[in-house]
Amino acid sequence: MRTTQDILDAQPQLHRDGKGGFTSWTLPKEVLFYIDRMVDDTSVTLETGAGVSTLLFALKGAEHTAIAHHPDEIENVRRYCMTHGISLERVDLINNRSEFALPNLPKIPLDFVLIDGRHAFPSPFVDWYFTVDRLKIGGIMLVDDTNLKTGQILKEFMSVDHRFELVKEFDNTVAFKKLETDITLFEFDRQPWMLVRNAD
Ligand SMILES: C[S@@+](CC[C@H](N)C(=O)[O-])C[C@H]1O[C@@H](n2cnc3c(N)ncnc32)[C@H](O)[C@@H]1O
């Protein structure tokens, strides 16, 4: 497998459907092509959740970390890569809850983060909290499922905050560029989102 289109054409089924079979909760095609454009073999990347996106980060040769919490999902990704000629040499596949794994990872600066793990409150915020300060200035924070309230709040928080620039918007996915450091150090009265929402 050589290209993103190859992966799309193969329609990998890496997730469990809850009835003993397989399915795919993949990101939409246009989001996968966005990752394809933004990531290369110089990129240091991290995603919460795993699946087709993981195959893509691996294919692009990124130094990548994927964290997913499912008994056999990580194994499915590993097996798929082995049988389809996708190298995992530069990929760290972590089978754990991201809220437990993320705080213990080395604080290596990141070029690109994908938040697409557990969508229940407060998981996307926890994932964001433990990755946003590792993101380099100019790095991309891609948040999926902005149709859900948790993703919607994350999107809204960054949209009104001058420390981020909205650079790409899809139906249910949004990408922000980070513009400043020390994002999590601001007290509430310096967070634009808190100032806006508290005044509502
Ligand atoms: C929507 S899927 C990810 C889809 C993937 N981005 C793709 O393109 O195929 C959500 C993922 O979150 C993972 N997940 C669920 N709870 C999690 C948690 N607490 N920590 C990390 N991952 C979790 C699931 O195992 C699943 O891989």
pLDDT 10s digits, 86-97: 999 999 999 999
> Is 80 exceeded by the pLDDT of residue 161?
yes
> Of residues 117 and 18, which shows the higher confidence score?
117
**Architecture, CATH, for domain 4-198:** 3-Layer(aba) Sandwich (3.40)
Q: What percent of the chain has pLDDT above 90? A: 94
Question: Atom 5, ligand 1: which residue's CA is nearest?
Answer: 51
> Is 90 exceeded by the pLDDT of residue 71?
no
167's CB contacts (< 8 A; 6+ apart) are 140, 175, 176, 177
Q: Identify which of 13, 15, 23, 113 to mutate to test ligand 1's pocket (most ligand atoms within 8 A of the CB).
A: 15
> Of residues 119 and 196, which shows the higher confidence score?
119
CA of 198 to the centre of ligand 1 (A): 32
Can you give the pLDDT at residue 121?
98
Question: Atom 1, ligand 1: which residue's CA is nearest?
Answer: 25
> Of residues 39 and 18, which shows the higher confidence score?
39
Can you give the pLDDT at residue 156?
98
CA of 118 to the centre of ligand 1 (A): 6
Can you give the pLDDT at residue 199?
82
User: Global pTM?
Assistant: 0.98
CA of 25 to the centre of ligand 1 (A): 9
User: Which atom in ligand 1 lies closest to the alpha carbon of residue 114?
Assistant: 6
> Is 80 exceeded by the pLDDT of residue 128?
yes
96's CB contacts (< 8 A; 6+ apart) are 67, 69
The ligand 1 site (C-beta within 6 Å) comprises 25-27, 48-53, 67-70, 73, 97-98, 116-118, 123
CA of 29 to the centre of ligand 1 (A): 17
Average of per-residue pLDDT across 126-133: 98
